[in-house]
Each structure stands twice: as structure tokens, then as C-alpha cells.
Structure 1
Amino acid sequence: MRLFSLLLRYGFASWVSAAIVFSSTSVFAAERVVLKYRAFRESIAIEDLTKFARTGEMSPDLRVNLALARQDPQTIRQSLTNTVTVDPILLDRFLNNALGELLLDEIGKTIHPPSRQANRQALRAAITLSARDRQLSLLEILQNYPTTDVEVEGDRLEAVYSQLRRLEGTLKNFLK
């Protein structure tokens, strides 16, 4: 009877957690992205990055940042806005197993909190929240990252998008 009670309690807790993740908006979300390119680093407001991704219009800070880092703005914009299609429930299951944790660790080399503490959990939350609409983009992951600041190794953004594309394929194959 005690085992049944524990299973019921944890099952209910999992259900409540999933309901919160899939139905609510993020209470804690990134406000600034610290773009890092080798020794160069600059803090950009997430609103500025979002505006750039959606319209192509760059804030002065972002323009200087990308120019100093010798990055093509259109390549960065494309990496931020390209989407992959995922099933949010299947994605959550995948991210909570060993292969998913390896993927989170790999993406965590590019997107991480300044402290680098609890990165796997933060990424899992950001990715899961971002996939609620069955679409996933790097911009959404950054917007939903559950710390005030999120650091991004800018020269690896394209590689992360490639990892998300592989994830999309992996999940589709998993369904078959």
C-alpha cells in the first residue's frame, strides 16, 4: 500500500510539473544574452536579439558586437530563427534519458548560465518550454532560458542548430 501511495504521489507530481511546463508562460526567463566570441564578450538585451531575429534590425550594441566578432549578421539571424518540428511529449521523454542528457551536455557547451551550474536542467527546461507549439528555435531556447543571463558561445551557434536538426530526425525515427 505504501508503494502504491508513493507511485501515486510521484505520478501526480510529474503530471502537475508537465501541466505547468506545457501550459504556463515562463516566470523566469533570460533578460540578457552574453555573446562570446573567443576573448570578446558583450551583453545584449534579449529584446534586442529578438527584434533582430524577427526584423533584421540591429541595435547599436548588437551591430558593434557582430562587427567586432567578424560574424555575418544574416548567418546569425538564420541560426536563431530556423525551426525544427518536434513532438513536445516525445522530446521531454528523450531529454530525460541518457542520450538526451548527452545532447544537453553538448548543447550546454554553447548555451549555458554564467556559473555553468545546473546547465543540463536549465537547458532541458528551456527546450521543453520552447517546444510547446511543436516548433523549436534557438531564439526561443534563449528566450525561455531560466536564468537572468545566459551565455552563448557565438561561434558555435550554427553547430547547435545542426544538433537540433539531428534531434528532429532522431525523434521522427524514434516514432517509427
Structure 2
Amino acid sequence: MRLFSLLLRYGFASWVSAAIVFSSTSVFAAERVVLKYRAFRESIAIEDLTKFARTGEMSPDLRVNLALARQDPQTIRQSLTNTVTVDPILLDRFLNNALGELLLDEIGKTVHPPSRQANRQALRAAITLSARDRQLSLLEILQNYPTTDVEVEGNRLEAVYSQLRRLEGTLKNFLK
């Protein structure tokens, strides 16, 4: 009986959180991304990063920042725009268990709020919101991040995409 109660509670909690996330629009979303490369850090408007990711056109600030950080713009662009396909309900369930929390902690080493507090919850919300259309990209996660500023460890962007690819594979295996 206790097992049934636990299953019912967690199933209901997942359903309620999914309903809230999928029925609401993001009221709070990142406005600036603070790109960090070792000692170098610079704030970029999310609009500039979005325009670059979609068109390849860089704002003067972004061009200077990537040059100073010695980063290849096309590699950064690919890391931002490459997508993975996910089932949003299954994703929500996965992110609310121990394995999902480990993944959130790992991604949180690269994408986090300036305070680094409540990062797991912020990432879970951003990822879940980003997956509404069954597609997930790092750019969408940054756009949906629920703080005004979000810090990104620039030298680890490719690692985040790799983690998202592993997540996609894990969810597909979970369905089998």
C-alpha cells in the first residue's frame, strides 16, 4: 500500500509540474548571458546571442568577446543550435529522479546563475520549458533560464551538447 501511495504521489507531482510548465509562458527569462573563459568574462544580450545562433551575424560586442577568448564562432554557433529530440513528459519524469539530478548537476557546471544557488531547479525549469516542442537546444535553455543573468563556462559548451545527446539516448532507451 505504501508503494502505491509513493507511486501515486510522484506520478501526480510529475503530472502537475508538467501541466504548469506546458500551460504557462515564461514570465522570467534570461536577458543576458555572461560568457566566461578562464579569467575572461563578458555579458552579452540574449538577443545578440540568439541572432548570432540563427543567422551567423555577430554583434560587435560578441565578435570582440569571441576573438579575445580565442573561440571559433562556428563551433560556438553549432553548440548553441544543435538540437536533440525528447519526449517532454518523459524528460520531466527523468529530471525529477536521482539520475536526472546528476545530469542537472553536470550541466550546472557549465550553465548556472551568478549566485550558483538553486541551479538544479533553474536548469530543470529551463530544460523542461525548452522541450515543449519535443526539441531541445542549448540556445533554448539559455533563453528560458529563469534568472535575468545566466553564466556560461564557454570552454565547456560542446560538453553540454554531448550531455544533451546522451540524455536523448537515455530517454529513448527508457521507452524500450
Q: TM-score, normalised by structure 1?
A: 0.92
Q: Could you tell me the percent identity over the aligned residues?
A: 99
- Displacement of 1:6 after TM fit? 12
- Displacement of 1:25 after TM fit? 1.6
CA-atom RMSD in angstroms? 2.5
Unaligned runs of 5+ in 1: none
- Displacement of 1:13 after TM fit? 6.7
Work out whether residues 110 and 157 of structure 2, in 8 Å CA contact, stay in contact via their aligned partners in 1: yes
> How many aligned positions are there?
176
- Displacement of 1:29 after TM fit? 0.3
Question: Hey, what's the Cα distance between the residues in 2 that align with 1:114 and 1:103?
Answer: 20
- Answer with 22-31 or 66-75: which moved more: 22-31
Residues 1:149 and 2:149 aligned together: yes
Change (3 A) 1:87 1:24: same
Following TM superposition, the consecutive aligned residue runs of length 4 or more in structure 1 with deviations greater than 4 angstroms are 1-16
Q: Residues 60-115 of structure 1: CA distance to partner in whole angstroms, max 9, x if unpaired?
A: 11001100000000000000000000000000000000000000000000000000
- Displacement of 1:18 after TM fit? 2.2
Change (3 A) 1:6 1:156: closer
Unaligned runs of 5+ in 2: none
SS at match of 1:114: coil
Work out whether residues 18 and 89 of structure 2, in 8 Å CA contact, stay in contact via their aligned partners in 1: no
Q: Residues 25-82 of structure 1: CA distance to partner in whole angstroms, max 9, x if unpaired?
A: 2000000000000000000000000000000000011001100000000000000000
Change (3 A) 1:97 1:4: closer
Work out whether residues 18 and 92 of structure 2, in 8 Å CA contact, stay in contact via their aligned partners in 1: no
Question: Hey, what's the Cα distance between the residues in 1 that align with 2:4 and 2:157?
Answer: 46
Question: Hey, what's the Cα distance between the residues in 2 that align with 1:102 and 1:2?
Answer: 26
Change (3 A) 1:72 1:89: same
